[in-house]
Structure 1
Amino acid sequence: MTTPGASRRRILVGVGGGIAAYKVCSVIRHFTEAGHDVRVVPTPAALEFVGSATFEALSGNPVTTGVFSDVDQVAHVRLGQGADLAVIAPATADLMARAAVGRADDLLTASLLTVRCPVLFAPAMHTEMWEHPATQANIATLRSHGSTVMTPASGRLTGADSGRGRLPDPQEIALLGELLMERADALPYDLAGVRVVISAGGTREPLDPVRFLGNRSSGKQGFALARAAAQRGAQVTVVAGSTAEPGDPAGVEVVRIATATELADEMTKRAAEADVVIMAAAVADFRPTSVAESKIKKGAAGPAPIELATNPDILRGLVESRTEGRIPAETVIVGFAAETGDEHGGVLDHGRAKLGRKGCDLLVVNAVGEGKAFGTEDNTGWLLSSTGSETALPLGSKTLMASRILDQVRTLVPDGRRR
C-alpha cells in the first residue's frame, strides 16, 4: 500500500447503478487511506443506492453526475485527462454497454472518453446478464480498447439468486488498481483457455490433535499469482494450505489441503489436466512419523523426542511425472525456492543449484528471513529458466511480481493454449 504523501496519484472512481454500489465505499477508503486523491463520479442511478454525501465524505472531494456541473472547469474533460487510474465499480451491463460504444450521456461516460490512463472495470450483475452474448461482446470491445475487465466472483446475488456475476471483493479491486498504477500493462488478456494449477500457503504436519509443525508462509504470493492469472483469462485452480488470505480470488477455484502428502496427491492429480503448474506453496520438508491420538501432556521428564520422516519432493515428483508421461510433455512447471545464504553460497547460488536438481522450466528464487517474503505485502528475487536465463525481479507488490512471472510463463505457452 502507498503511504500517505508518497507517490500520490489521482484516481477516478466511477460508480454504476447497482446494489453493489455500497461495497465501493471500501474501495474509495482504501485509495484515500493510501494517500491518493480520489474523485468519485457516480451515474445518476448509482445515487439511488448510495447518496453523494457518503462519497464526498469518503473521498474528500465534491461529487457530480452531469456534464453541466462545473461547466467553467470543463469537468467532463479535466477529470479524465488528469486521472492516473480509473476504476469503474460496480460496472453494470448498461454502463459497460455505453462505455463500449463511446456514449457520453453523463459525466462518467464522457470522462471515460478522455482518460488515457489504465481503466479497470469491476463487473456486477446477474449471471444471465453476464453470460448474455451482448455483454460478452461489449467486454471484448472494452478489452480491445485497452481496458481491464475483471472476472466477477461467484456467490450470492440480489435476492435469492446465486451464481457468477457478484462484485469482486473490494480489497481485490483495490489491489488490481494499485497494480495497474505500478505497471499499466500488467494484466493483458492473454491466457484465455490456459488451465493453471497453483499451490499456495504452508503445509501443517500434525503432532497431536492441537499441535503441528508448520512454517511462516502466508499464501499471499500464490494467491497473487492466481488473482493475476484469472484476470488474464486463465482457468485457475489453487490448492491451498494454511494461508492468511481473507477471501478467495474472483473466478478461481480453491481446494483446501493441510499436509504435504495431501498437497502432493492433489497437485499430481490436477497437473494431469493442466497447461501450467506453479508450485508456490511452502511445503514442510519433514513430518512426524506418528501422531498422538490425544494432546501430548507436559511431563516432569520433559518432552519426548519427535521422530521425523522426509516428505515427498512434490516439485521434483511433478517433473518426473512429466518425463514418464503421466503429465503431458508440454505442461509448463514453475517452482519456488525460499533460500538463505550460508557458508556454501548466496541465495542465488543455492537457487541455481536447486533448479538443476528439480528440473522445472522456471524457478522463482526468494531470499527469506525476518521481514522478507513470508507474510509481507511485497517481494523480490530472481526468475531462473532451464534455458540458462536469469531475470531480476525488483522489489514491488506481490501482485506485480506475479504479473512478471506470468509474462515469462506466457512465452512458454506461445499459442495461448496447449490443449
Structure 2
Amino acid sequence: MNSALDNKGSATPAFAAPLRLGQHNMPSRDRFEAAMRDIFERRYYTNQGPLARAFEERLQSRLAARHVVCVTNVTIGLMMAGEALGMASPVLVPRVCTSALTHALNWCGLSTLSVEPDAASGQLDVNACAKRVGRVGGVGAIVGANLWGGACDAAALASLARAHDLPLMFDSSEGFGITVAGRRAGQGGALEVFSFDAADIVNAGGGACVATDDDELAARLRNIRSSYGAGRPVSVVKTSNGRMSEAQAALGLMSLDDFDANRERNRASFEAYRAGLSGLAGIRLVVPSGVDASNHQTVVCAFDEDAAGFSRDALIAVLASHDIEARGIASSWLRLPIGAHVDIAAVGRVCEAIGAALAAGATHEGVAA
C-alpha cells in the first residue's frame, strides 16, 4: 500500500489561511463588549454569580433536567460526575471517546476497560458491552458516549446497567442539542456531561455542565464543585475549584441565543459534505445515528485504505498542504472542518481536494510508495 501522496507539482492550496476544526461560535464584538461591561460594573466575577445562575436555569429548561450544575471545563465536569456517583473499578468506556473522559476517571482513582464501537456508526456497541459485563469479574460502572452529533443506544445501556445494578453516566461532550424521541440523549443515565468549549456548538469559553434528575447527586456535585459548595451542604470526600466564571456564563447565554441558527448552518454544511463526498471510493460520510435531531457539530468520515490505495494519514497530509485541518480518530476515521468559518463554498473545496487525492491514488499518479 502506498504510504504517502506526493504533493510536488500540486495546484495552489485550496485556502489562503488554515481552515480549522471546531465550531468557533462567537457573538458579535458589540454583544461581547456589552456583556463584559455589565460584569465589571457589577464587580461579581465568579462563585455562582447571577449570570452563572441564569445559564443553569436556561440549560435546565433546554435539557428538561431537574438540575444542571455548570463548571469551568468538561474534564472537571466528568471528574465531578464520576466522584459523585461513587463508581467502582473497572469502568466500561467506549474505545472511541474524549481524552478528557479517561483523564477524569483516572483522577477518580478508577481503571477503565474499553469496548469496541459499532463499525458503521462509531457509537458504543451495546452488545459488546453486554458480553464484557457478563464475563467473570464483571465491571463496576458503565459510561456511554454520544459522539459526532449522534447517540448510542441509551435505553439498552440503561437496561443493561439496571440488570447488573451498575452506575451509568453519559459523556455527551459533543452532544448538546441532540435528541432521541424528543428527549435529551443520555436521560436514561444518572448523570450526563456536556461540553461548552470553542469547538462545541455552544461556546461558554471552555465551560461545561452536568445534568441530573437526582436531588442527592445534584447536592453532591455542588459540594464537590468548590470547598464551600452551593445550596444544601452534604458530605463529600473530594472538592475542586470547578466554578464557572461570569464571563463564561455570559458567552454561554449568548451562544444559547444563537443555537438554532448555528445548528442550521451546521446542517447545511453537513448536507454539502454529503453531496460532495457521494460516490468517492474509499471515503464514507458517517451520518449521525440514533437521533431524531442532531447538532451536526462534527463531520466524521470512515476511510477505507484498501479502496483508496493509500493511508488515511497520507490524506491528512495532503489536506494539510491545502491548509485544511483534518484529524484521525482511532484507526479508520477522519474528522473534517465544520463550523462558523466553514461555508458551503469551503465545503466544496474540501471535497474537491479529497476527490483529487483519491483520483491520484486510484490511478497511481502522483503517489509515492
TM-score scaled by length of structure 1: 0.22
Larger radius of gyration between Structure 1 and Structure 2 = 1
Q: Which has the higher strand share?
A: 1
Q: Which has the higher helix share?
A: 2
* Structure with bigger RCO (C-alpha 8 Å, 6+ apart): 2
